[in-house]
Amino acid sequence: MDYADSSQARKTQWPRPLVFLSWLLITVLTAQVACAAPAPRFVQKDGRHALLVDGKPFLMLGGQIHNSSAWPSELAQVWESAAALHVNTLEAPIYWEQFEPQPGHFDTTNIDALVQGARARDLRLVLLWFGTWKNGKMYYVPSWVKADTQRFARVIRPDGEPIDVLSPLGRNTLQADKAAFVALMDYLKKIDGDKHTVLMVQVENEAGILGSARDNSPEANKLFEAAVPAEMLAAAHKTAGTWKEVFGDDADEIFQVYHQAKYINEIAAAGKAAFDIPVTINVWVTNPLAKRTTQLPGVDYPSGGAVHKRVDLWKALAPAIDAIGPDIYDKDPWVVESLTQPYLRAGYPLLIPEIGRNDNFAKDFYKALGLGAVGFAPFGIDRTGWNYLGDEKWTAHARNFELFHPMSREIAQLEFDGKVKTAVEEAGHASQEIDFGEWQATVTFPKSSGAAAPGGAALVAELGADEFFVTGTDASVVFHLKDKKPGERSQFVTVEQGHFENGAWKPLRLWNGDEAGGGFSFHQEPEVVRVKMQKF
């Protein structure tokens, strides 16, 4: 059609009912397109990951509430704490015992309170399904499950004693947990299918057995003495034999991994078939660096969980799981890096669903961003007068989140594009180099001699040719050309402090003189600069 034709068409008088019908059609179609922003999902590009929320990368600045705080009676103080910590996402449990008080009767009171409360405060949610397993025990199953030890099989210890953990071989338990989880996902689809308040659901919590390395029931023993299934052999790259022949001293734990991974995978897959949003698990970890301490499955950590040395098995056996998040409470400065590597190498996005809330874990946020994290959440953020590592305040996490909250979408995109690098203070290293090829940034930590918590940290993102975005706390950043000193054949043109407002950069002032000459200095204030460099 040429221009003459189309102007002709505009002049054509359409009958009124036809006009009304066309208007209706267009309105309906437009409304559908508006609602059709895809559900949250993980995507990958060149080995990097993003959590897409409403179609764009999202950095989850999370906070997990205490175990017994997801009740309407507790939420007022929860929302206050979430606001003070500057989170954009709250992680909150859904208790099977509360959700299904009688078989097949579902109570959505807690979910409704969480979803409505989050929406009213412009927060997102990650819901944690406290089902068959919670910290290697069966704490949160409904009382009708606890009561019926015949129908819901317990783990049996090697000495024949049943314990307070459910066995993954219990088909009835699997069916009951799966039915409840599907009911939860069905309900979320109904109330949140087009709103995306709930970003993902964690299935179970630190799953596994505490109290035995595996189930020793007669049924389990029969399977344990039989040949290892082909699927497990393929996952472990092993050749045929019994569990003991193939896996030796690790046989009990790996037998448990196999049954537990398949159990959880079946629940996750059924849940995603009902509502396709990411489903994740979290892990009671073992420390990969603790080489001289023996860490026994079933004693020191729940046997069967996706600990770092079992993550490849989980990857093969539980394909419905989108992310496996290590829970980090170890203050060892190397632990974040060493613990997260196996999960990254296995191809999972880096999600830290729990980390210590006190100040010395705050620099791990920068460490995690440098590794491409999609989410980071201190544990136990609401006021209960108790926290796992002591009831200290989370001042340093709050400072980080206040700084990153307004630019979390931009940082998520830059991370996904591979443009973000970070430096974190380490004892004995007063400075660090960040390498962008032609340009390098030297980061120094002026307070390093005092080794005071939380320690300095800096983030540098490459925005374009000779242009960077820089922020940090207790750190000073200076750019220089590769193999040249700062000031040799290079200088800064402008160092513009500003902030993001609805995705747009708003400049505030230019740094110069003492604030920029010897390096761009970041203290405790949440400040960000955009730096233009020049070669001459």
- Interface residues with ligand DGJ (CB under 6 A) are 67, 135, 205-206, 282, 327, 354, 379-380, 388
Is residue 208 within 8 A of residue 154, CB to CB? The reply is no
Question: If we measure between CA atoms, which residue out of 198, 430, 237 comes closest to residue 315?
Answer: 237
Number of helices (H) and strands (E) in the chain: give both, helices first.
16, 23
Q: Which is nearer to ligand DGJ, 68 or 175 (CB)?
A: 68
- Quote the CA–CA distance of 341 and 289 in Å, as a whole number: 12
Q: Which is nearer to ligand DGJ, 126 or 441 (CB)?
A: 126
For the record, the structure tokens of 124 come out as: 């997102």
* Shortest separation between residue 373's beta carbon and ligand DGJ, angstroms: 18
* Shortest separation between residue 335's beta carbon and ligand DGJ, angstroms: 15
* Shortest separation between residue 124's beta carbon and ligand DGJ, angstroms: 20
Question: If we measure between CA atoms, which residue out of 426, 459, 443, 442 comes closest to residue 334?
Answer: 426
| Closest chain position to ligand DGJ (CB) | 388
Phi, psi of 362 (to 5 degrees): -70, -35
Q: Which is nearer to ligand DGJ, 177 or 354 (CB)?
A: 354
Would you say how long the chain is, in residues?
536
Q: Which is nearer to ligand DGJ, 67 or 422 (CB)?
A: 67
Give kind and range of the element (H or E) at residue 89: strand 89-95
* Shortest separation between residue 268's beta carbon and ligand DGJ, angstroms: 18
- Quote the CA–CA distance of 325 and 349 in Å, as a whole number: 9
Q: Which residues contact 22 (CB under 8 A, 6 or more apart)?
A: 14
* Shortest separation between residue 354's beta carbon and ligand DGJ, angstroms: 6
Burial class (CB in 10 A: 0-12, 13-18, 19+), 35: exposed
User: Omega of the bond prior to 38 within 30 degrees of 0, cis?
Assistant: no
Q: Which is nearer to ligand DGJ, 394 or 522 (CB)?
A: 394
Give kind and range of the element (H or E) at residue 283: strand 279-284
Q: Which is nearer to ligand DGJ, 135 or 494 (CB)?
A: 135
* Shortest separation between residue 206's beta carbon and ligand DGJ, angstroms: 5
Residues forming beta bridges with residue 501, ordered by sequence position = 504
* Shortest separation between residue 388's beta carbon and ligand DGJ, angstroms: 3
Q: Which is nearer to ligand DGJ, 136 or 456 (CB)?
A: 136
